[in-house]
């Protein structure tokens, strides 16, 4: 089976399992999505969704976030990973939106990546989920599964993103990104996973990888 044939079969399975995958981070507009994605680094979406309601009750737009003391932002997000750094970046990001973009989140990936605390993955999530522009954000789940399924060699996330963009049609990127995340969480965990009984790994993973991960369990 070629890599493309494998990707096509995986796509069909994902479409059957998750025909309309929801965005896991609660938000109401591009700004609240941007904040939520920034908070999600090294933290679960569940934890982010627990802290953002109170934060957004006080600061749901760049002007209010920029005016809020870092200590106050930190008090809201203290339970998420890297909270002190994220609190500083949220305030700086909001101020930069006011200074350079009229208080609006730009629908441009380069402008997004120029914001404090916003990397390529975060910018890609905002582009596809807030502005519906084709992008294929690669998080740890996607990077891991692409290598496990033999869709990419897994050397780095940039290579994984490039490989997946070649294998999947552009008009599927937005849902494919979410589908793989959900599949990783619900069917294909990083550890203790029996690849031989997985609906995708059982046939997509190499015999060598199945044996290797079986020994690691």
Question: What secondary structure does DSSP assign to the chain, as a single string?
Answer: --HHHHHHHHHHHHHHH-SSPPPSS--SSHHHHHHHHHHTTTS-HHHHHHHHHHHHHH--SHHHHHHS-HHHHHHHHTTSTTHHHHHHHHHHHHHHHHHHHTTS--S-HHHHHTSTT--HHHHHHHHHHTS--------HHHHHHHHHTTSS--S-HHHHHHHHHHHS-GGGHHHHHHHHHHHHHHT--SSS--GGGSTTHHHHS-HHHHHHHHHH-
- Which residue among 121, 133, 166, 194 is the active-site one? 121
- Which residue among 45, 139, 159, 165 is the active-site one? 139
Answer yes or no: 139 catalytic. yes
Answer yes or no: 99 catalytic. no
Active site residues: 121, 139
């Amino acid at each position: 089976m070629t890599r493309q044939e494998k990707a096509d079969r995986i796509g069909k399975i994902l479409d059957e399992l998750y025909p309309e995958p929801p965005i896991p981070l609660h938000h109401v507009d591009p700004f609240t999505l941007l904040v939520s994605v920034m908070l999600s680094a090294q933290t679960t979406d569940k934890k982010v969704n627990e802290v953002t309601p109170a934060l957004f009750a006080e600061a749901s737009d760049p002007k209010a976030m920029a005016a809020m003391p870092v200590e106050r932002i930190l008090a809201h997000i203290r339970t998420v990973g890297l909270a002190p750094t994220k609190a500083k970046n949220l305030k700086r990001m909001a101020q930069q939106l006011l200074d350079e973009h009229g208080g609006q989140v730009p629908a441009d990936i380069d402008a997004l990546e120029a914001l404090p605390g916003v990397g390529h993955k975060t910018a890609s999530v905002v582009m596809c989920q807030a502005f519906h522009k084709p992008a294929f954000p690669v998080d740890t789940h996607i990077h891991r599964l692409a290598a496990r399924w033999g869709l990419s060699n897994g050397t780095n996330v940039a290579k994984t993103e490039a490989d997946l963009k070649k294998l999947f049609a552009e008009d599927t990127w937005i849902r494919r990104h979410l589908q793989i995340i959900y599949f990783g969480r619900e069917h294909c965990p990083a550890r203790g996973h029996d690849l031989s009984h997985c609906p995708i790994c059982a046939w997509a993973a190499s015999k060598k990888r199945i044996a290797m991960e079986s020994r690691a369990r």
